């Protein structure tokens, strides 16, 4: 297929970051969005700093953890202590996590466009913001779900009521024995539904439906003018979003790879001519676009009057 040119590449040299993103969105036939931890952090949902120290002071005092990433892969002394931590973790990062302003702005920005989202975040940000669940692929699992630690059954179970009970009844960094969940099929301990260091997790019918819809989107727009937009994706799990997105850009000559990240990550040489790196804070970037669009609409309305 003949290669399609992107005006934002040839004419965007002196544009602001927000104008480049707006222009690319308007040019695209469809938008593929990859969302990583940087997007959550932009809205203040960080795994370090006061958010961590204020919610886990007892664990930090005992184990000298530096952040929730370190804590979430820690080998606990027993299941009672493990679930004392993870019940608070799930509440903080799923059940009680507030509505993210950037997610609302992203939803408004995508209104009326053909898009699909893949995320490595396991929180509730997209649900809370009211995104169409059939357009979001939670590749790395969900904090509000449990799975058998041995994977004996392809089932995931909601854990929210259990987490609330654990929070209410935990004492001295431990939950009571009767609250520790075990698999009803094989008796093994249950754990949070999240992809571990061996790249494994339980994947149920809902997961495979999300995966199918995601693949259908990729197939539908494989030869179209596709904006591949990466928001806050780093190298903690590059095999989930970053590397597939870069490979897609290389193999689809009509695609444009746009990455938004404050950190300086190397771009493969063979896609640099179809890459735009916006070294911007995601929250500020989306706010600027929203304000620019509101200003444009206001001027249009005044002109029409």
Q: Tell me the CA distances in angstroms from 275 to 129, 175, 267, one per residue in order.
A: 29, 50, 8
Burial 137-175 (b: 16+ CB within 10 A, else e): bbbbbbbbbbbbbeeeeeebbebeebbeebbeebeebbb
Give the residue among 129, 234, 138, 239 at the shortest CA–CA distance from 192.
138
The answer as to whether 1 is a domain residue is no
- Report the pLDDT averaged over residues 257-280: 93
User: Cα torsion for 24, 25, 26, 27, to the nearest 10°?
Assistant: 50
The answer as to whether 288 is a domain residue is yes
The CB density around residue 200, as the number of other CB atoms within 10 Å, is 10
149, 290: one domain = no
268, 224: one domain = yes
Helix boundaries (H) for the chain: 7-11, 17-27, 37-42, 50-53, 57-63, 68-72, 79-90, 101-110, 125-128, 160-169, 205-220, 242-251, 282-304
Structural domain including 38 reads 7-42+100-140+204-304
Question: pLDDT band for position 300 (50/70/90)?
Answer: very low
**Structure token pair of residue 139:** 């590749």
**CATH code of the domain in which 33 resides:** 3.40.50.1220
Question: Per-residue pLDDT tens for 48-93?
Answer: 999 999 999 999 999 999 999 999 999 999 999 999 999 999 999 9
Least confident of 9-18, 94-103, 236-245: 9-18
The answer as to whether 2 is a domain residue is no
The CB density around residue 17, as the number of other CB atoms within 10 Å, is 20
Residue 291: phi and psi, rounded to 5, are -65, -40
167, 72: one domain = yes
Question: pLDDT band for position 253 (50/70/90)?
Answer: very high
115, 181: one domain = no
**CATH code of the domain in which 185 resides:** 3.30.1600
Please say if the pLDDT value at position 232 is more than 60.
yes
The total number of structural domains in the chain stands at 2
pLDDT at 301: 47
Q: Could you tell me how far CA 184 lies from the centroid of its own chain?
A: 31
pLDDT at 79: 98
- Report the pLDDT averaged over residues 154-180: 98
56, 184: one domain = yes
Give the residue among 79, 72, 73 at the shortest CA–CA distance from 182.
79
177, 286: one domain = no
Please say if the pLDDT value at position 295 is more than 70.
no
Alpha carbon distance, N-terminus to C-terminus of the chain: 45
72, 208: one domain = no
DSSP state of 261: -
Question: β-strands 136-138, 115-119: how paired?
Answer: parallel
The answer as to whether 61 is a domain residue is yes
Higher pLDDT: 254 or 292? It is 254
Q: Could you tell me how far CA 5 lies from the centroid of its own chain?
A: 30
The answer as to whether 199 is a domain residue is no
pLDDT at 305: 53
Query: What residues have CB less than 8 Å from 252, skipping those under 6 apart?
Result: 222, 223, 226
User: Cα torsion for 21, 23, 26, 29, to the nearest 10°?
Assistant: -70
The answer as to whether 222 is a domain residue is yes
The answer as to whether 292 is a domain residue is yes
165, 216: one domain = no
The overall average pLDDT reported for the chain is 93
186 assigned binding-site residue: yes
77, 108: one domain = no
pLDDT at 91: 98
157, 267: one domain = no
250, 211: one domain = yes
pLDDT at 15: 92
Residue 126, SS3 per DSSP:
helix
pLDDT at 1: 45
223, 190: one domain = no
pLDDT at 198: 77
183 assigned binding-site residue: yes
Please say if the pLDDT value at position 3 is more than 80.
no
Please say if the pLDDT value at position 302 is more than 80.
no
The answer as to whether 265 is a domain residue is yes
């Amino acid at each position: 297929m003949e290669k399609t040119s992107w005006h934002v590449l040839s004419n965007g040299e002196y544009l602001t970051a927000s104008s480049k993103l707006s222009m690319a969105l308007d040019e695209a036939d469809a938008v593929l969005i990859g969302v990583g931890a940087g997007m959550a952090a932009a809205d203040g949902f960080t795994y370090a700093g006061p958010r961590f120290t204020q919610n886990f002071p007892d664990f930090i005092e005992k184990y000298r953890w530096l952040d929730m990433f370190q804590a979430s892969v820690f080998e606990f002394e027993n299941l009672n202590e493990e679930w004392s931590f993870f019940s608070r973790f799930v509440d903080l990062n799923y059940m009680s996590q507030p509505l993210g302003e950037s997610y609302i702005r992203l939803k408004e920005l995508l209104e009326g466009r053909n898009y699909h989202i893949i995320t490595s975040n396991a929180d509730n940000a997209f649900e809370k913001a009211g995104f169409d669940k059939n357009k979001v692929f939670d590749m790395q699992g969900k904090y509000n779900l449990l799975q058998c630690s041995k994977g004996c059954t392809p089932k995931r179970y909601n854990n929210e009521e259990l987490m609330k009970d654990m929070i209410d009844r935990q004492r001295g960094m431990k939950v009571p024995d009767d609250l520790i969940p075990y698999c009803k099929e094989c008796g093994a301990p249950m754990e949070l539904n999240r992809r571990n260091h061996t790249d494994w997790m339980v994947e149920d019918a809902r997961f495979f439906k999300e995966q199918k819809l995601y693949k259908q989107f990729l197939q539908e727009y494989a030869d179209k003018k596709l904006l591949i937009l990466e928001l806050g994706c780093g190298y903690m799990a590059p095999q989930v979003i970053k590397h597939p997105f870069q490979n897609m850009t290389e193999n689809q000559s009509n695609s444009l790879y746009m990455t938004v990240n404050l950190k300086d990550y190397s771009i493969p040489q063979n896609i640099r001519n179809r890459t735009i790196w916006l070294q911007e804070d995601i929250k500020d970037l989306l706010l600027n676009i929203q304000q620019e669009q509101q200003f444009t609409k206001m001027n249009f309305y005044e002109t029409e009057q």
